[in-house]
Amino acid sequence: MNVVIAGGHGQIALRLSRLLAARGDTVLGIIRNPAHAGDVRAAGAGPVVCDLETARVEEVADAVTGADAVVFAAGAGPGSGAARKDTVDRAASVLLADAAERAGVRDFVQISAMGAGDPPRPGRDDVWAAYIKAKGEAEDDLRARGGLDWLILRPGRLTDDPGTGRVALAEPPIGSGPVTRDDVAAVVAELLAAPGVRHRTLDLLNGDVPIEHAVAALG
């Protein structure tokens, strides 16, 4: 399988690249900063320098042409303001989806966030509200597309603890809680190999079910 990951230097993306490369898939990681190319190569992926905040759809379509699937794992990241939540977490996802349709790549997996599109909880700041709004609008854009076999994955609170290999994975709501980045990457890898699980929005937490069984139960 040929997979292109947007946000290729992100923590989940690098973990996913290692998993996919280890099973023999060909992986490209779209990155904004050329200085990150070495890390992407070390994870087993080929770096493609393309700034999704400024690129034209034709450029991104060139980057994904020939792929079997694309994964949107990009995010503005901590410390960014409300404006970049929109330009990265929403607009870059829309751009990648436009490019995938133009290039004839149907399989699109979006890593979103639990609670996307919901009103922010009391006490959250304006940046968090912008983030949840942007993620929700990116999800809505995907759901409206007839040219993509989309899948939206909403992890809970991300941690850097070692992966457990066990999760709770189902359509929302499933509650709240943590999930390791290792396990998120492992779930995405398993979902990419399960093309029958599409046109679904799934919440993800750590839980009791082995990942391969959790994905198989969705089919």
Residue at token pair 């850097």? 160
Bridge partner residues of 168 (DSSP): 205
pLDDT recorded at residue 157: 96
Longest dimension (CA), the chain: 46
At residue 123, the pLDDT reads 65
Quote the pLDDT of residue 39.
98
What are the structural domains of the chain? Answer: 2-216 (3.40.50.720)
Alpha-carbon span 27 to 23, nearest angstrom: 11
Half-sphere exposure (CA, 13 Å, Cβ side) for 70?
33
- φ, ψ at 32 (rounded to 5°): -90, -35
The pLDDT value recorded for residue 120 is: 73
Alpha-carbon distance of 107 to 119, in angstroms, equals 29
Half-sphere exposure at residue 205, Cβ-oriented, CA atoms within 13 angstroms = 16
Q: Which residues are catalytic?
A: 131
Write out the DSSP string of 163-197: P-SEEEEESSP----EEEHHHHHHHHHHHHT-TTS
Written as tens digits, the pLDDT of the chain (219 aa) is 999 999 999 999 999 999 999 999 999 999 999 999 999 999 999 999 999 999 999 999 999 999 999 999 998 777 778 889 899 999 999 999 999 999 999 999 999 999 898 887 776 778 888 999 999 999 999 999 999 999 999 999 999 999 999 999 999 999 999 999 999 999 999 999 999 999 999 999 999 999 999 999 998
d(CA 41, CA 69): 19
Burial class (CB in 10 A: 0-12, 13-18, 19+), 102: middle
- ∠ at Cα 182 (178, 55), nearest 5°? 100
Residue-level pLDDT at 113: 95
**Count of CB atoms within 10 A of residue 80's CB?**
16
Residue 127 has a pLDDT of 87
Per the listing, tokens 């990951």 go with 5
Question: SS in 3 state form for 62-97?
Answer: HHHCCCCEEEECCCCCCCCCHHHHHHHHHHHHHHHH
